[in-house]
Chain A
Amino acid sequence: MTEHVPDTVDNAIATPDKHQPYELLGLKADEYAQIREILGRRPTSGELAMYSVMWSEHCSYKSSKVHLRQFGQKVSEDMKKHLMVGMGENAGVVDIGEGWAVTFKIESHNHPSYIEPFQGAATGVGGIVRDIISMGARPVAVMDALRFGAIDHEDTHRVVNGVVSGISFYGNCLGLPNIGGETWFDSVYQANPLVNALAVGALRHEDLHLANAKGVGNLVVLFGARTGGDGIGGASILASDTFAEGGPTKRPAVQVGDPFAEKVLIECCLELFQGDCVEGIQDLGAAGISCATSELASNGDGGMHITLDNVLLRDPTLTAEEILMSESQERMMAIVRPEKLEAFLAVTTKWDVEASVLGEVTNTGRLIIEWQGETIVNVDPRTVAVDGPVYNRPMEYPSWIDALQADSAAKFARAQTGTELRDQFLALLGSPNEADTDWITNQYDYYVMGNTALHTPDGAGMIRIDEESGLGVALATDANGRYCQLDPYVGAQLALVESYRNVATSGATPMAVSDCLNFGSPENPEVMWQFARAVEGLADGCLELGIPVTGGNVSFYNQTGDVPIHPTPVVAVMGSIDNVARRLPSGWQDEGENIYLLGVTRDELDGSSWAGAVHNHLGGKPPVVDFPAEKALAGLLAAAAHEGIVTSAIDLGTGGLIKALTDGVLRFGVGARVWIDELQQRDGVDATAALFSETTARVIVSVDRTDDVRFRGLCEGRNVPVLRIGVTDTGSASLEVQGQFEVSVEQLAAVHRATLPAHFGPVVGG
């Protein structure tokens, strides 16, 4: 074995012409030249490792930055009102009242989840949870938005099983309730599944912590798991590189997670916060120590001096460069005042968490890293973490999009009989994207912590934050890649209003947004155009709705070969509710209640679930977005929940009215009688559109007959179109659309529940 000789700064000066493998590390020639210019010499191999990971697309947002700025620019005063921490920190923080704040964020772990689905998905959960702890919050729930390949493709089984058991294993072992999410199957995700994990945490205002290294002489402490050889270069080599079919396997670059270590780390951090032992804190995610040191120093007094020899290693043969790049999980870096170190170590010792002091905060403006007595890194940390390259990538209007939009689903003959409608309905209900997901969600614990007020299959998850007052938060995630393929601007807005409406439907008031933007290669001008349009749509939409984007993540290079995924901007909306006892159920529980449809229905079937499930078609233009109508509807639902005059509310999303009615029936097994002729007349649509159209700004609610007058008054006062379309019927045990068809509750359940088990295995007790 040859001894590894570290490349020192002195050595770099002495050997300016030494060849460096910057390309293998993912850097372009001009980026490498830029690094040499910044340093006034060639980088040491340690510096090169740091720049390469921190300047990767994943860490630097170099292709997306110019577009993401809109989220900070298109902001009204109103949107800032409740915002305690905005974009740029580990996660945004929102004031929800009563001295409570909530932090939440959604992040991708797509590429690792294809290579090693179990560990990829597991560490995705672990990473987002550490972001939440970094803000000083106790994590209180997780959710996940998943996209898999075609349900009947031979490889899908491997990916689904791995991803779901990875999330189940890690999330369940952390003791965090998994309260919702979504699952889609589409061949565009075949070799590039999407695993987007969301975590939400709660904190008292005074417990807020930020990732900065302030206070000259304060100590830099690394604690948690030891540093090993896992995930080395994961950030740059995995997340920023497209899968080439038949390419070499990249398995060693995926990190391995240990949820037990993370659970202990959570409790340890919370006790450290409680004891006021920590000045600043940062989790170690992508780019490990490189990222944590450069970001903490950039956000603080500007300098840091550490000795890399002090890092506790799992593998003593690691080189300095590998230590800098390692993405070993379950690690945190804290800034600690010297006089607090003893108290700090008492807490870590109590939890059997290892900690070591790496160095201290300086005000030199330099990040200096020593190794075996020599300086191997001497950089301005801002050039690593903040002032990386920014690309204004070329964009091009997709050559194919006009033809796609012209190919409307209007060309398909509409159903002529009730039987035909019924057959289409059942085909839709059993289609992979509308089917019941119990096979997945039964593997997640939503009970732990005892504060879960809504969970799968409810449209939003809800968590009680304050046990005394009942104050709580609701969360939903949504994205519709099909609509985004047709029109990324409108598609992104549709994801936003869908998520917003799901939160409103729970009775909560939407407050903030986090997004995970999953796209193809930014080097493809058509993809870049899709990205730019989606971001613009989201930013404009948030301004219209008056809720800010508080953070999120961009995932590029989601494609196989040259074929990009459908643009998939997953939008998570968080809302608050004064008392979770006033939440709205997502199904019927009582006999003889009136069912009302709120909103109007247009003939909008292009890109719909109906078009996909019944006609295997994607083309045309997505539904129109109506922000004022969405706001009016959300306001009405919050008021109705507050006053207790609706007994349930169900959002109309994919699958339209008939899917929402089915959800209402299946939630508690209570049937309904529904009529659509008045709806057809009022809105001028045929039966197919009435049942399957995906027009936005619509919700169905059930109302006790004694509250009818008050309810109608509320709708009138708020200018929300309302139409009585049915009654709940506990006796019938069926869903009847009068004059069209009737399906028993038993059959609805059977069709809805059969699809996933048919491909992945039985559901216990199902």
Chain B
Amino acid sequence: MSMKHLYSKGDRRFVLINSILIGIFTLSTLYPFIYITSLSFSSGFAARAGTVVLTPIDTTIEAYKYVLAQPMFWISYKNTFLYTILGTLMSLIIIIPGSYALSRPQLKGRRFWNLVVAFTMWFNAGLIPFFLNMRDLGLLDSYFGIIIGFAVNGFNIILLRNFFEGIPQSFEEAARMDGANEFQVLWKVYVPLSKPAIATVSLFCIVARWNGFFWAMVLLQDEQKIPLQVFLRHTISTLSDDNEFGASLVDATYSAETVTAAIIVCSIIPILIIYPFIQRYFEKGILLGGVKE
């Protein structure tokens, strides 16, 4: 839309009020994060008294010291990195060739195979059969179960397939003339041309892995294997219960509130670091995935 026409006084007033409203909405999105960050740097006493509103009160890093001294914090952080990196690689290794095959016109039964993928997006057996299946496969309480069990989803396959389909066949002719096989054509022609789509899918996988909670909680018993989100949940609910543990923290320079806030800040940081990349690709990604069923 052309933005040059700002003729009337009414228009200028409208644009101003609109900007103020957007500003308010933006600040109200941002505020909880500011609040939590300030809380994490405040003293336990100030947090307990509810005096922290915008900036840290009695600034201290005691809560962080407490969090970083927890062995489980580091173990779960390491596990989350492991699940995120290996899980995303596993997803890409499976679905890049799969989506490529589904995009080829000469694939026999192509419509059937596409339906096999799409049907999983419409009908889901549900929590219990999935859980029992994981148990029957011996994938309870296993690193490998978490990595393989959530590697594929229909949306990502369709997103990649649509992108591959949009690449003109003329790009691969030179490679074909040189006698390249399908794997070489995919690797040398399609993958380099599909970097934005592959980046989008990778980021979806990374975010889903980093944030994954429910199934990790259900499938993993061994403390040594739990990811950050499960540790986070465990700590938050223990602290908020106001039981002995929570009470034991009150007298210190940190409190249940500041410790919770500090853990939250620590686990958001990696997402913030990759966020600029996420932003670059995901808008395109959503629109790509939605075009066709």
Indicate whether A and B interact: no
